[in-house]
């Protein structure tokens, strides 16, 4: 009797723990849905499709469970080729509005609204790059691919300046959002530009530093540190080949 009671209690505790780790998020997409409609919800950093949205009265609705807070992409196809909007699945309702072909999070948690602000600021910082690419393309055509060195130096300088401005904007956004999940997106998508030192310093006190989406970032940092002079040698296991002599 006592044994059965204990097993029942253990099962109840396990179920409660699982319930705590599940995150259920409802997403509604409204406005000009377009064709095909945005009825797919992908894990941004994985292969799975979280859910397929249900369309009713011109609104696409998703209800999705995730094991932890995650970043997802709303898309128009199962193969990810037509992304619409990036959202953070954190258990709070989300509303995405599509207008003039542009999708924006119009209602959501602090993390989702911070993500919307972040993407808009990065977009503004990146906008000069479009003009640079246009100027470069015109020069490439004008000089039949043989752009003069003096002109090429100017292109390189502008490229570096714009890139530095983008990175500075990303760092500022990350630093300003220590209390929400928006930095996870930037740390994952821009880690190479941000640099090991900046990321390590930020993650020391970051509330969501153990989020699964950051595992590749942490692994990359560890790999870069192992390349530094004086870094300890990392043990590895190799396969031993044996030679048999024939007499």
Strand, helix or coil for residue 218: helix
pLDDT given at position 227: 64
Is this model's pTM higher than 0.85 or not?
no
Rg (CA), the chain: 24
Assigned token pair, 103: 């999708």
Do 34 and 98 contact (CB within 8 A), yes or no?
A: yes
User: What are residue 22's phi and psi, to 5 degrees?
Assistant: -80, 140
Instruction: Judge contact between 194 and 187, C-beta under 8 A.
Output: yes
DSSP state letters, the chain: -HHHHHHHHHHHHHHHHHHHH-EEEEEEEEE---SS---EEEETTSS-EEEEPEEETTEEEEEEEESS-EEEEEESSTTSSSEEEEEEESSS-EEEEEETTEEEEEE--HHHHHHHHHHHHHHHHHHHHHHHHHHHHHHHHHTTT---HHHHHHHHHHHHHHHHHHHHHHHHHHHHTTTSSHHHHHHHHSHHHH-HHHHHHHHTT-TTTT-GGGHHHHHHHHHHHHTSTTPPPPP---PPP------
CB 109 within 8 A of CB 90: yes
For the chain, the structural domain boundaries read 23-108, 112-226
pLDDT value at position 47? 81
Per-residue pLDDT of the chain (247 residues; tens, 9 = 90+): 455 544 444 444 344 444 345 678 999 999 999 999 999 999 998 888 888 999 999 999 999 988 688 999 999 998 888 999 999 999 999 999 999 999 999 999 999 999 999 999 999 999 999 999 999 999 999 999 999 999 999 999 999 999 999 999 999 999 999 999 999 999 999 999 999 999 999 999 999 999 999 999 999 888 777 665 655 554 545 555 544 444 4
* CATH for the 23-108 domain, from 2.60.40, 3.40.1350, 1.10.10, 3.30.160: 2.60.40
**Helices 110-142, 149-176: inter-axial angle, 10-degree rounding:** 180
Q: Are 44 and 86 in contact (CB under 8 A)?
A: yes
Q: Is the peptide bond before 74 cis (omega within 30 degrees of 0)?
A: no
Strands 70-75 and 94-99: unpaired
Query: Can you read off the two tokens belonging to residue 152?
Result: 């090429």
């Amino acid at each position: 009797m006592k044994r059965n009671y204990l097993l029942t209690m253990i099962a109840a505790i396990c179920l409660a723990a699982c319930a705590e780790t599940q995150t259920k998020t409802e997403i509604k997409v409204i406005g000009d849905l377009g064709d095909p409609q945005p009825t797919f919800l992908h894990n941004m950093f994985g292969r799975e499709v979280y859910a397929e949205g249900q369309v009713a009265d011109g609104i696409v609705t998703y209800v999705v469970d995730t094991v932890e807070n995650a970043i997802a992409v709303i898309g128009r196809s199962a193969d990810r080729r037509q992304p619409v909007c990036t959202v953070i699945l954190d258990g709070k309702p989300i509303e995405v509005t599509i207008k003039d072909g542009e999708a924006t999070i119009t209602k959501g948690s602090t993390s989702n609204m911070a993500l919307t602000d972040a993407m808009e600021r990065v977009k503004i910082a990146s906008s000069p790059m479009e003009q640079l690419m246009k100027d470069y393309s015109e020069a490439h055509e004008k000089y039949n691919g043989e752009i003069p060195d003096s002109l090429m130096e100017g292109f390189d300088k502008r490229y570096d300046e714009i890139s530095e401005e983008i990175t500075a904007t990303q760092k500022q956004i990350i630093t300003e959002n220590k209390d929400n999940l928006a930095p996870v997106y930037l740390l994952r998508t821009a880690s190479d530009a941000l640099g090991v030192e900046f990321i390590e310093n930020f993650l020391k006190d970051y509330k969501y530093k153990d989020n699964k989406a950051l595992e590749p970032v942490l692994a990359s940092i560890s790999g870069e540190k192992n390349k530094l002079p004086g870094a300890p040698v990392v043990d590895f296991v190799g396969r031993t080949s044996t030679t048999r002599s024939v007499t």
